[in-house]
């Protein structure tokens, strides 16, 4: 996106990529259909040490602007959940769109090129690669983050930025499954709608959750994983659509001869059995209300204390990155290094699940591309 924007504004652009094909992360995203944007994208949908940093770029290139390009290329799409847009057919259509946009500006794409070093040069920058040295007036760091290393993810942008004295916010896997110390493998595969949150001042997320052999995953869990710090607990309401205490007490009176799992008829059966097992083999009529209220509290306020995430191998994105304090929010330029830009996931901007990270890639790419083009020879 940065390359296309710069090239179409008249710059001579070369894209260097160490991968064997372009857009490998795009190709696997959204189950192969690419959740390419979210119409609800707004600054509050992003984590950053500077929560206002994203405002300028998002305002100047919006989800509707990208959607216009999608429609221009006759790519059919659908809205899967509120605001979340996916291709009807294949994520490859988005990659093809981007390549076509680059070709429209006559920029060159060079694959399987390893960047060894980037240094200052009299004419801007010297880029040392396994093929040759390139000289450029501007360099845009657009290599993404550390998630999904099997696709070639690396810390290249962070290393280059650090070599120029740019500060780095500590990185960690985000939008990642959580590992629980007391995970019950027998629950693996059980899924349900929950409401999850971390702390009182952070947002809550109502969405799907699924139990895994190591802990829990699913959209709601991935969302809160971005906000969790080491040693922090999270709270999950397993019955978000009802008052758990009132429902369980009503079940006791409606089915007095039933066994404890019947109390939790709103949960998948395997989960109901697991949570009610401690009540023993008794009828509901013989269960004190005090115990039922305690069970309701454990369901509506299930406290989890993860020992970590499943790491970058399973993480959707990276949290942290190039410090926004060192960047211009309008151009993405490193303020202490004129001509050097950083965009997308490499920057300390992490979006919620649902297309927000793609929109940040498009918006920040356009901002940097247009600014870099002004440095053309």
The Cα 158–Cα 346 span in angstroms is 7
Geometric angle at alpha carbon 42, from 81 and 328, rounded to 5°: 140
- Mean pLDDT confidence for 112-134: 96
- What radius of gyration do the chain's Cα atoms show? 24
Tell whether the model's pLDDT for residue 15 goes beyond 80: yes
Give the per-residue pLDDT at 376: 62
Residue % of the chain over a pLDDT of 70: 99
Q: Choose the weakest-confidence range: 76-80, 262-266, 327-331.
A: 262-266
Give the per-residue pLDDT at 200: 85
Q: Is 210 exposed, middle or buried (0-12, 13-18, 19+ CB in 10 A)?
A: middle
Give the per-residue pLDDT at 377: 57
Q: Is 182 exposed, middle or buried (0-12, 13-18, 19+ CB in 10 A)?
A: exposed
Beta bridge partners of 110: 16
The Cα 93–Cα 258 span in angstroms is 55
Q: Tell me: the pLDDT tens digits for 230-271? A: 889 999 999 999 999 999 999 999 999 999 999 999 999 999
Q: Tell me: the pLDDT tens digits for 280-298? A: 989 999 999 999 999 999 9
Helix-strand-coil split of the chain, %, nearest 5: 35, 25, 40
The Cα 250–Cα 131 span in angstroms is 73
Question: Residue 314's closest CA among 233, 236, 210?
Answer: 210
Mean per-residue pLDDT of the chain: 96
Q: Tell me: the pLDDT tens digits for 30-49? A: 999 999 999 999 999 999 99
């Amino acid at each position: 996106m940065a390359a296309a924007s710069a090239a179409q504004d008249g710059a001579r652009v070369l894209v260097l990529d160490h991968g064997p094909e372009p857009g490998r992360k795009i190709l696997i995203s959204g189950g192969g259909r690419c959740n390419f944007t979210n119409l609800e994208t707004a600054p509050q949908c992003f984590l950053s040490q500077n929560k206002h940093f994203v405002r300028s770029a998002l305002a100047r290139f919006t989800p509707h602007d990208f959607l216009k390009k999608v429609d221009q290329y006759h790519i059919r799409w659908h809205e899967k959940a509120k605001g979340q847009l996916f291709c009807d057919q294949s994520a490859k259509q988005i990659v093809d769109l981007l390549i076509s946009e680059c070709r429209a500006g006559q920029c060159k794409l060079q694959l399987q090129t390893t960047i060894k070093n980037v240094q200052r040069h009299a004419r801007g920058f010297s880029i040392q690669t396994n093929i040759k040295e390139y000289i450029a007036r501007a360099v845009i760091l657009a290599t993404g983050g550390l998630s999904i290393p099997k696709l070639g993810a690396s810390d290249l942008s962070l290393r280059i930025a650090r070599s120029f004295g740019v500060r780095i916010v500590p990185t960690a896997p985000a939008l990642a499954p959580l590992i629980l110390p007391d995970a019950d493998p027998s629950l693996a595969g059980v899924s349900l709608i929950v409401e999850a949150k971390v702390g009182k001042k952070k947002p809550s997320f109502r969405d799907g959750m699924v139990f895994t052999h190591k802990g829990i995953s699913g959209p709601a869990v991935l969302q809160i994983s971005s906000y969790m710090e080491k040693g922090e607990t999270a709270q999950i309401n397993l019955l978000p659509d009802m008052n758990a205490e009132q429902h369980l007490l009503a079940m006791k009176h409606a089915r007095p001869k039933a066994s404890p799992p019947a109390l939790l008829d709103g949960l998948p059966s395997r989960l109901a059995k697991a949570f009610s097992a401690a009540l023993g083999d008794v009828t509901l009529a013989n269960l004190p209300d005090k115990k039922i209220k305690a069970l309701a509290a454990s369901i509506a306020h299930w406290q989890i204390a993860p020992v970590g995430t499943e790491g970058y191998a399973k993480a959707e994105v990276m949290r942290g990155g190039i410090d926004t304090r060192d960047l211009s929010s309008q151009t993405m330029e490193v303020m202490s290094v004129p001509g050097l830009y950083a965009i997308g996931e490499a920057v300390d901007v992490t979006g919620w699940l649902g297309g927000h990270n793609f929109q940040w890639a498009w918006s920040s790419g356009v901002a940097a591309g247009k600014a870099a083009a002004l440095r053309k020879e």
